[in-house]
Copies of this chain bind each other. A is one copy, B any other.
Amino acid sequence: MVKMKDVAELAGVSSAAVSRYLNGGYISADKAARIKQAIELTGYVRSSQARALRTGSTKLIGVIVPKINSESVSRITAGIGQVLGHRGYQMLLANTDNAPDRELEYLDLFQNHPVDGIVLVATMITDEHRAAIASCHVPIVLIGQNVEGAACVYHDDFEAAFELGHALAGRVDGKIAYIGVTEEDRAAGYDRRRGFEAGLGAAGVVLDPELIRRGSFTLDSGYRASRELLGEVPDVSFIACATDTMAAGALRAIDEVRGMGEGIHRVSGFGDNAFLRALTGGIPTVHYGYLTSGVEATNMLLNTLDGVEGESGLKTLKLGHQLMNV
């Protein structure tokens, strides 16, 4: 592998000159030309490892996600990747498979090590998480949760759920059920459930605690919870779910129990999944700018890292949402 010294010798300069040429330091025009030629001739590329050791910067951003094969996460990731690519960084992806302790593990691994910054697509935030985030040696931005004391890019799940609940209250007659997710996930669990209840409440509809069930983000869990619900409470009229994926499961359950095509007007979700939209013509749901959240979070992070002027660095950013099909 050709190294800087080789290039320097070929160009008849010192390796310091080559380094300066590469990094934009003082260099005379003729030497610059000779170096340029020497680099092209040898096909030299500088060792990012040596550079990293010397400068302490790797141009790598650690991205921690709970699950890669999910529409929302992969959209967020697409947004992150877009920005990183544009700005000369690369993405080190860590998938925790929904295990919050693996999040901590990666947080630990990353901060000591090879990354310049971290984007955490967050689900459950425990005290341990807060501690880990606070003691992080590199800048970190969270996506999806609003955590005090950390830079966050998030959506207002309470408000969105409120609006959805309020809108649905007027349109649905009969019993409304809600299938949520773990409330340890503040945004998708707690806020959505509470917001939805509050929204219904504001329209004078009470959500019967008996009709609140719990799933786990998967289509299958939405399906199972719905079957159970329909079995126990046959006259349920509408099933609201905490995610579109779960809503797809609910849809399937209703179709099975009540006949094909029955489910479409009897479920709602969150996330505005493209597949679901196309196949059903659109159930009531909330559109979040997932890609945008990835973009915004990453820009914020890189602005601090690159010391971009005019940008106030890490802060908390609430993105908007949009009610669909209500």
Contact = CB atoms under 8 A, between A and B. Distances in A.
Contacts of A42: none
A293 interface: no
B278 A223 contact: yes
A219 interface: yes
Interface stretch (A14-22, A28-36, A66-74): A66-74
Contacts of A147: none
A49 B45 contact: no
Contacts of A94: 81, 85, 90-91
Counted per complex, copies of this chain come to 2
24 contacts: A45-B112, A47-B113, A48-B113, A49-B52, A50-B53, A52-B52, A52-B53, A53-B53, A70-B74, A74-B74, A77-B95, A81-B94, A82-B95, A82-B97, A85-B94, A91-B93, A92-B92, A93-B93, A219-B274, A251-B279, A252-B281, A255-B281, A260-B261, A260-B281
Contact of A275 (B50, B77, B91, B276): B276
A248 interface: yes
A70 B77 CA distance: 11
Interface string A263-281: 0000000000111101111
Contacts of A63: 93
Interface of A: 1, 45, 47-50, 52-53, 56, 58, 60, 63, 67-71, 74-75, 77-78, 81-82, 85, 90-95, 97, 112-114, 219, 223, 245, 248-249, 251-252, 255, 260-261, 273-276, 278-281
Given A93-B91, A113-B45, A279-B248, A68 B58 contact: no
Nearest to A69: B74
Contacts of A82: 95, 97
B58 A69 contact: no
